[in-house]
Every structure is written in C-alpha cells, then in structure tokens.
Amino acid sequence: MYAIVADGGRQYRVEKGMELKLDRLAQEKGSKFKLENVLLVANGADVKVGKPKVAGASVEVEVIDEVKDKKLIAFTYRRRKANSKRKRGHRQRHTLVKVTEIKA
C-alpha cells in the first residue's frame, strides 16, 4: 500500500515504515501528526484518486529528528568591478519523519 502526499509545494510517494525529509515543521521530536493532503491511495489494484484530495484519507507520521541539508554556496562575481565578490552559504533545515500508518 502506498500514497501520494503533497506538503510544502512538493509531492511525495510514501509507504508504511518509510522515512521522509519534509520542510521544517513546528513539531516536537517524538510527536505524531497527520498529513491530510493525500492525492492518491493505492492498495494493489484498488486505486483511489482524489479530485484534488482523497476524501477521508490521511497519512500518520512520527517526527524522528530535525536535520540540516548539506551546505550550498552562492558565489557572485562580476569582473572589473569594485566590491563585486560575494560568497554566502546556506543550509536548509528539514524535519525527518517516519510514516506509521496510511488510512484510506
């Protein structure tokens, strides 16, 4: 059984027991919550497609930890100009969650 869930402008294909990195959420470590923006639920040949969401479907997840992505470097350089070099780094924060249950 799997589901397609939309969160943070992205769509994820999730199965029970799967770990997933979502955009940072205001949730405590160990807490459970539901993702209710389920677009599709499939159980073998039985497929339910939402218009746009599947009615009554939800995916229950548990927060494992808050993690950071690898560092991205944004470097700007303009030749022959004063003060034209700029180097900035950024590490995006994510919430690592584990799928505990898919309700159709």
pLDDT tier at 81 (50, 70, 90 boundaries)? confident
Domain of 41?
2-103
Which pTM does this prediction carry?
A: 0.79
Q: How many domains does the chain have?
A: 1
Contact 85, 10 (CB under 8 A): no
What integer pLDDT is reported at residue 80 of this predicted model?
85
pLDDT tens, residue by residue, 25-39: 988 999 999 999 999
Mean of the per-residue pLDDT values of the chain: 92
pLDDT tens, residue by residue, 52-69: 999 999 999 999 999 999
- Residue 26 structure tokens: 């205001």
Residues in the chain: 104
